[in-house]
Amino acid sequence: MVHVIATIQTKPGCMEAFLKKFRRNVPNVLAETGCLAYQPAVDVASGLKSQAPLRKDVVTVVEAWENLEALAAHLQTPHMQAYKEDVKGIVENVSFYVLQPA
């Protein structure tokens, strides 16, 4: 299994529009072979002293895939290509970590 933590920085004020477009694609991704989890998350104030500062206009995507092949196939699907085109005007930056259980 591999985990992916993707950080998507939206353009200022565009996070809700981004989330609407992202959520429309979630059922397509969850139906893919090898997808175990795929969910957007946003920072929340917890009151915990050690929490990093809240990030404005940032969506974190938490994913789990059966293997690297499933993740690679996911990135090539027609619905992901369409999604990337749909959000390109409201996304400033995307970065991600691919992790394996330790």
Measure Cα distances from 52 to 11, 44, 47, 84, 88 in Å: 21, 11, 11, 29, 27
Instruction: Give per-residue pLDDT as tens, 50-91.
Output: 999 999 999 999 999 999 999 999 999 999 999 999 999 999
* H helix intervals, the chain: 15-30, 68-76, 78-87
pLDDT recorded at residue 20: 98
pLDDT recorded at residue 51: 96
Gap between the Cα atoms of 31 and 46, Å rounded: 33
Range of the domain at 70: 2-99
Computed over every residue of the chain, the mean pLDDT equals 97
pLDDT recorded at residue 50: 95
* Structural domains counted in the chain: 1
pLDDT recorded at residue 88: 95
Residue 52's CATH number:
3.30.70.100
